[in-house]
A = this chain, B = another copy of it.
Amino acid sequence: MATGRTHRPATRSRGIPEATVARLPLYLRALTALSERSVPTVSSEELAAAAGVNSAKLRKDFSYLGSYGTRGVGYDVEYLVYQISRELGLTQDWPVVIVGIGNLGAALAGYGGFASRGFRVAALIDADPAMTGKPVAGIPVQHSDDLEKIISEDGVSIGVIATPAGVAQQVCDRLVAAGVTSILNFAPTVLSVPDGVDVRKVDLSIELQILAFHEQRKAGEESSAEEGPEALAEPEPAAAVVAPAPRGTTGTTGRKGPDGDVPAVMPA
């Protein structure tokens, strides 16, 4: 998750597994929906279905939080909402800055998911002077010259980077220097940060590529029966034939573009 040293050998200080933490927001969302419908209690089975996980996993997850829940009955919805909120730190207010108010930044600024649940857009920041003062989603954009001031005055510890990839690292550096210790990165770059700073990334093209991988596999699967116990038939037995250069730097005059195709993999 974090780029710079996610080490943490085994601090063990009441450690909730990372995988569990990642699911708590899911449970919380499902519970909130139930709460709005005034449902008083849920079983692990029901809640798991609503959250899209299986019930054993859910119970295990909750067991790390403590023994909320009543045997033979289920979980008290309101109580659980509170406990998970507290565990996630949502009972306090988190001011957030969004840097880079282009299409994406504007979309994020207007996104309801911010306003709810303890997150508050403290400021929108952009480097373009033409944007300064312009209200986006009701919040006036501030110039990036004032970044440090904004961060420290509002006590912001969470920053969202929605800038082009080219400037993401320097924006990140400035955020960190100003005191931000958690970063949500939408720019398609690997950010390096010092110890103690968390980075999470959201990357559209990575997600698409993962989908493409599975999609391609589905297409290749068509012929074999789905229950095939040992159906190992590879589409191409000798993959090297198709490849640009079977191996060996030499042979093709030692140069690059080994064969005709040459992917031409240039991103935007």
Contacts and interface: CB of A to CB of B under 8 A. Distances in A.
A150 B102 CA distance: 29
Interface residues of A, number: 117
Interface string A16-27: 000001101110
A208 B243 contact: no
B204 A79 contact: no
Contact of A265 (B117, B216, B268): B117
Nearest to A235: B86
Interface in A122-174: 157-158
A240 B214 CA distance: 46
Nearest to A159: B211
A111 B248 CA distance: 36
A92 to B, nearest CB: 8
A194 interface: no
A82 B258 contact: yes
Copies in the complex: 2
Contact of A249 (B40, B188, B213): B40
Given A40-B254, A82-B243, A190-B26, A32 B215 contact: no
B211 A207 contact: no
A213 B21 contact: yes
A196 B209 contact: no
A202 B73 CA distance: 34
8 contacts: A33-B265, A77-B256, A88-B216, A90-B263, A91-B261, A92-B216, A107-B107, A116-B267
Interface of A: 3, 11, 13-14, 21-22, 24-26, 28-30, 32-33, 35-36, 38, 40-41, 50-52, 66, 68, 70, 73, 76-79, 81-83, 85-92, 94, 96, 102-104, 106-108, 110-119, 157-158, 181-184, 188, 190, 192, 196, 198, 200, 202-218, 221, 226, 228, 231-232, 234, 239, 242-249, 252, 254, 256-259, 261-268
